[in-house]
Every structure is written in structure tokens, then in C-alpha cells.
Amino acid sequence: MIQVLPILTQEQADEVSNAAQSDDSGIFQPSHMVLKDGEIIGAFSVNMSVGCWWMHKTKAKGRDSLQAFQSMEAIMADREIDEYIMPCHQDSKFYKLMPRGGYEIIGRDTTVWNLFYRKIR
């Protein structure tokens, strides 16, 4: 039988991260760990930070988008969010700019929607 326990300390979060890395995997902002016979065999997150945005294709200029993006990250900083994921459609004019903006693609670049990860502090 498994146990599901909340992650309450940084030490527990590190243990989960190390367990996932030893399995050539990882998890983003884990909130709970899954134990079997006292060993961490999994984890999940019910409180991931996700940023999503839309800017009008013709009415929003590059400077508008930059200011909106900076405002979004300022709000995140105010909420003490220092990392997040963001979906982006391959047809978006921002898609090719994501890596230059400090985003790392998560997984494979094979679908029309991909997830990007960004650490802002």
C-alpha cells in the first residue's frame, strides 16, 4: 500500500527531487510525495505556477508585449513565485522568442502546444 504525504519542508522537497533525478525524471513544484514501504516512489503537484498570456496579433506591438510580460512577472514576484511554466502554441509569434527570453522547453518539441519553464530569480 502507498502513502501520500504533503511536502512540508525543504528537506522533503530535496528528497523528492533527488528521488526523481535518480529515476532520470523530475517534477515541477511538488506538493505531495508518494511513499511505498518508506521509500519515495513518486510525487505530484496540486499548486503549480502557470503563466498564460494573449496579445492581439495586430493591435499589440513588441513594446506593448514586453511591458505586459514585465508586469506579469512583477505580479508573480509580488506573490513570491520564482518559477513557472507557460504553454505556447507553435503558431504564436512569441514561440521562437521563448528560448531567448529565458524559457526552456519542457519535453519534446512535437506538438502544436509546448510547455516552457522559466526561473525568474
Residue 87 near residue 121, CB atoms below 8 Å: no
> pTM, whole model, 2 decimals?
0.72
Each of the 121 residues of the chain gets a pLDDT tens digit; together they read 999 999 999 999 999 999 999 998 888 889 999 999 999 999 999 988 998 888 888 898 889 988 998 999 999 999 999 999 999 988 888 888 899 989 999 877 677 888 899 998 7
- Residue 120 region by backbone torsions, left for phi larger than 0, else alpha for psi between -120 and 50, else beta: alpha
* C-alpha to C-alpha distance for 32 and 4, rounded to whole angstroms: 6
